[in-house]
């Protein structure tokens, strides 16, 4: 399995056609405000800009990305900006559902382990059932119209004690949705931000 086969999970790649005649200096000058944010360091070498982010603020429009490379190349149709960005946030949102699914399977395994064996159940069935203590309502409460105390539901107690994997499945679904939406949305948003600064300004 090659790294390229799986790195799409947290890597965002794309390209954007530049206006004919735009120089590398003009392109990176227009993009410069995106990299003048707290926690962001960047370095330019000829037609390539490399950046990295650490403890980026939520207000940073590129806060979801931790680093990347932007390169200007000459294509048949003209100059093109190609970018390769990485995001630990996307990686976390991808791995989180797998983690919660593992928790769900562990919960199911624990529930099966704690389930009494058929032999123990048979022995318990042979034992005489204990008489339930009848709880008498206080005469004063009865005079005031208070309802009689309910008998405890043994089946309900057993269900409450049984571990359930439902919560783990719910969180797995939430993070899977976050990843799916975020992966598609961030891909489009970053391209739109680059286009806005390079073409529409």
Q: Do 67 and 85 meet the contact criterion of CB atoms below 8 Å apart?
A: yes
Angle at 178 between CA 41 and CA 55, to 5 degrees: 20
Write down the domain spans for the chain.
3-86, 88-128+155-196
Q: SS3 of 164, please?
A: coil
For the cut 80, the answer to whether the pLDDT of residue 191 exceeds it is yes
- Per-residue confidence (pLDDT) for residue 160, from 0 to 100: 53
Question: What was the pLDDT predicted at 86?
Answer: 95
pLDDT in tens, 112-144: 877 665 456 556 656 655 555 656 665 655 655
For the record, the structure tokens of 85 come out as 């960005």
pLDDT value of residue 46:
87
pLDDT digit string, tens, across residues 5-32 = 788 899 999 999 988 888 889 999 999 9
Predicted local confidence at residue 102, as pLDDT: 93
Whether the pLDDT of residue 111 is over 70: the answer is yes
The pLDDT > 70 percentage for the chain reads 74
- For residues 12 and 65, is the Cβ–Cβ distance under 8 A? yes
CATH 3.30.310 is held by the domain 3-86: yes
User: 150 pLDDT exceeds 90?
Assistant: no
Q: For 41-93, what is each residue's pLDDT tens digit?
A: 999 998 999 999 998 888 898 999 999 999 999 888 788 999 999 999 999 99
Output the average pLDDT for the chain: 82
Report the SS3 class of residue 71: strand
């Amino acid at each position: 399995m090659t790294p390229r086969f799986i790195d799409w999970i947290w890597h965002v790649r794309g390209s954007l056609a530049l206006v004919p005649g735009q120089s590398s200096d003009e392109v990176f000058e227009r993009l410069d405000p995106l990299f003048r944010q707290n926690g962001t360091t960047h370095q330019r070498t000829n037609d390539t800009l490399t950046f990295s982010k650490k403890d980026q603020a939520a207000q940073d429009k590129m806060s979801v990305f931790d680093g990347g490379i932007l390169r200007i190349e000459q294509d048949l149709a003209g100059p093109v900006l190609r970018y390769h960005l990485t995001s630990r946030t996307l990686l976390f949102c991808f791995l989180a559902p797998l983690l919660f699914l593992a928790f769900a399977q562990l919960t199911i395994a624990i529930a099966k382990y704690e389930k009494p064996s058929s032999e123990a159940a048979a022995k318990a069935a042979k034992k005489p059932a204990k008489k339930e203590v009848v709880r008498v309502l206080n005469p004063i409460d009865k005079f005031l119209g208070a309802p009689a105390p309910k008998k405890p539901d043994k089946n309900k107690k057993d269900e409450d004690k049984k571990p359930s994997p439902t919560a783990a499945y719910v969180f797995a679904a939430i993070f899977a949705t976050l990843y799916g939406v975020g992966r598609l949305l961030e891909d489009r948003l970053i391209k739109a931000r680059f286009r806005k600064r390079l073409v529409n300004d």
